[in-house]
Amino acid sequence: MTDLLFAVLYTVPLVLILYFYLRRHRRREAAHVATWQESLEAGLTESASLHPVIDPKRCLGSRGCVTACPEKAIGIIGGKAQLVNPAHCIGHGACQTACPHDAIQLVFGSEKRGVDIPQVKPNFETNVPGIFIAGELGGMGLIRKAAEQGRQALDSIARLKGGKFPYDVVIVGAGPAGLTATLGAMEKKLRYVTIEQEDSFGGTVYHFPRNKLVMTAPVTLPIVGKMKFGEVSKEKLLEFWQGVVKKTGLRVNFFERMETIKPVSGGFVVKTSKGEYPTRAVLLAIGRRGTPRKLGVPGEEQPKVVYRLIDAEQYRGQQVLVVGGGDAALEAALACADESGTRVTLSYRSEAFGRVKPKNRDRLAAAEKGGRVRVLLKSNVKEIGQKNVVLEQEGKTLQLPNDAVIVCAGGVLPTPFLKEVGILVETKYGTA
């Protein structure tokens, strides 16, 4: 009787622990299945760039990768890890580091969708001696990694020998990689010039919506030291960089677009929209967004036409046309619609919004139902006038009053330019 009592006393707690563990496990898996189903329905089944591929034969469902992923992009389904929210994956690789069974490999692209990645050596030099690539263009959009690559690439450039030029390096781009490289050039007392085709530094970060949280991690910057950020908003990060510029005297030539890179004996001549720079080396720290894709219609050259939304408040009380069918277009339309007195029309050439987040799709449906956004599917812009726009929808011509046009049609990748310079570009289909 005593033995039976002891058995019951020990067995019951174990059974209860197992019961609550299994119930919690099932709830978690159900949530992961629901997330994956939402991704499937939205057509968001592929990551934008670097992302994990999990080997089911090696994966034992330890959940280390799930815990390590701050974006909650990975879940457990059927006892195996799976990328359940690919659109949220930003390629930092924490999942690979956390996996105790070496079941995760980081790759670019997929079997269906190739990603163009320029070939670079471990020192970030391309196949063209003297031309280096760091940051997003090389496939690394993560802020911390891009900054580290900028610093490492500059270290490699500083070791180059030979060549008598006015400049040691021309740095193209003022995002995290370009700015960090510029600090490195200053620290090593190199003769440098940093050019940026737009009117601000920050690169892709600058184009994020207001108050967007930017996942980053501590990184050591030349001259400045450790940048102690964990999770920070776009505004705070840009404010930090402004402080760095003010403190160090870092110089950037804004509104200066790179046009060509011509090789000369022992170096290059970088021709821009404002001049020419003979240099020993070139560091390309530009984004993959490239040049904004334009509509190619009459009137598009007007100042009222822009290719990104920075601040919706400037459109308060205006008639706004947003063109595009991705998340950027939907978010721009919704942000403008939230402003008092702003009337928004969203034009998209296809018959439905495919690769958009369910949350944005639901918000747009609510805004359309509430009369805050007019959605014109299967429509194309034909002409942009000073006070109106002309669209075509299923054979019918529409003329709408208009004060501003925001085109969110993506960008033209710089692949042709890279090939023209002689840089080898490989299309990755789910390979490292």
Torsion of CA 379, 397, 344, 199, to 10 degrees: 70
Q: What is the pLDDT of residue 344?
A: 97
Q: Could you give the percent of the chain with pLDDT greater than 90? A: 44
Same fold, 115-290+414-428 and 305-410: yes
Examine the pLDDT at 91 and tell me if it is beyond 80.
no
Q: What is the pLDDT of residue 138?
A: 81
Q: What is the pLDDT of residue 111?
A: 74
* CATH number of this structure's domain 115-290+414-428: 3.50.50.60
Contacting residues for 91 by C-beta, under 8 A, at least 6 apart: 47, 49, 50, 51, 106, 139, 140, 141, 142
Confidence of residue 322 (pLDDT cuts 50, 70, 90): very high
What are the angstrom distances between the C-alpha of 223 and each of 179, 180, 182, 226, 282? 12, 10, 10, 9, 21
Cα–Cα dist 398/392, whole Å: 6
Cα–Cα dist 98/54, whole Å: 13
Bridging pattern class, strands 291-292 and 411-412: antiparallel
Least confident of 148-157, 218-227, 323-332, 360-369: 218-227
* CATH number of this structure's domain 2-107: 3.30.70.20
Domain boundaries of the chain, sorted by first residue: 2-107, 115-290+414-428, 305-410
Examine the pLDDT at 90 and tell me if it is beyond 90.
no
More confident position, 12 or 133? 133
Q: What is the pLDDT of residue 166?
A: 94
Q: Are 244 and 95 in contact (CB under 8 A)?
A: no
Cα–Cα dist 294/272, whole Å: 21
Mean pLDDT of 307-328: 91
**Residues 363, 365, 369, CA angle at the centre, nearest 5°?**
115
Q: What is the pLDDT of residue 115?
A: 75
Mean pLDDT of 166-179: 92
Q: Are 418 and 138 in contact (CB under 8 A)?
A: no
Question: What pLDDT digit, counting tens, does each position of 242-277 carry?
Answer: 888 888 999 999 889 899 999 999 899 999 999 999
Q: How far is CA 249 from the centre of its chain?
A: 28
DSSP 321-376: EEE-SSHHHHHHHHHHHTSTT-EEEEEESSSS--SS-HHHHHHHHHHHHTTSEEEE
**Closest by CA position to 71, among listed 49, 53, 92:** 92
Give the Cβ contact number of residue 34 at 10 Å: 12
**Residue found under tokens 């949530």:** 31
Average pLDDT, the chain: 85
Question: What pLDDT digit, counting tens, does each position of 184-232 carry?
Answer: 999 999 999 999 887 766 555 555 555 554 555 667 888 888 776 666 6
More confident position, 385 or 9? 385
Q: What is the pLDDT of residue 392?
A: 96
Question: What pLDDT digit, counting tens, does each position of 375-399 carry?
Answer: 999 999 999 999 999 999 999 999 9
Q: Could you give the percent of the chain with pLDDT greater than 70? A: 86
CATH topology of domain 305-410: FAD/NAD(P)-binding domain (3.50.50)
Tokens of 205: 């970060």
Confidence of residue 1 (pLDDT cuts 50, 70, 90): low
In this structure, what are the phi and psi dihedrals at residue 205, rounded to the nearest 5 degrees?
A: -60, -40
